[in-house]
Copies of this chain bind each other. A is one copy, B any other.
Amino acid sequence: MSERIAAQLAFLVEVDKLKSTLRATTLCDGSRRENSGEHSWHIALYAMVMAEHSNRPINVNRVIQMLLIHDIVEIDAGDNPIHGDHDPAEQDAVEQAAADRIFGLLPSDQSANFRALWDEFEAAETDDAIFAKSIDRVQPVISNLETDGGTWPEYKVTPAQLQTRVGTKVQRGAPAIWEALKARIDGWFAQNT
């Protein structure tokens, strides 16, 4: 087997493990916790469907590619729930090491390209990354709304915390979507807290 194809397959086999990384949120039917592999599929589809609501010019295909790889570091670093406690600096160090290891399995040209795309997502400064980050925050909100608040009660999330941790990030890249969700969110908190 060519060394190049062998390296590509080694990467593709390694990332299979993302299907075993569990997130805080559940499926929309509440039957089980979602894993980061299926989340990555869903969120890429979110971007494909919702691209028109970006408040800045984006290349939807770059956003999709970014979202396909955005959580791969969780194979080593695990998922950190938005409303959970973790040390950002420590988390960042673990994720950087994970990116070195996992993207490093690819042939060097692809490794550099994938790493640059992931770095861009993490930095959240380009238009594409800002929209990708916004849409990544929308999906758990939908899951929670579909499952009667989902993880909000468990994490004792207040409307103000939701606005800070989620709302401001969705508003940065896709304010129309946050606007559309606001009434449903406010309705849930009014009835349940």
What residues make up the interface of A, taking CB atoms closer than 8 Å to B? Answer: 1-2, 5-6, 8-9, 11-13, 15-17, 19-20, 27-29, 31, 34-35, 37-38, 40-42, 44-46, 48-50, 53, 61, 64-65, 68-69, 106, 110, 139, 142-143, 146, 176-177, 180-181, 183-184
- Chain B neighbourhood of A65, CB < 8 A: 48, 61, 64
Judging by beta carbons under 8 Å apart, are B5 and A28 in contact?
A: no
- Chain B neighbourhood of A110, CB < 8 A: 49
Q: How far is the CA of A181 from the CA of B1 in the complex (A)?
A: 7
- Chain B neighbourhood of A41, CB < 8 A: 37-38, 40-41, 44, 68
Among residues of B, the one whose C-beta sits closest to the C-beta of A31 is B20
Q: How far is the CA of A28 from the CA of B15 in the complex (A)?
A: 10
Judging by beta carbons under 8 Å apart, are A15 and B29 in contact?
A: no
- Return A44 CB to nearest CB of chain B, in Å: 6
Q: Given A49-B110, A142-B9, A44 and B68 touching (CB < 8 A)?
A: yes
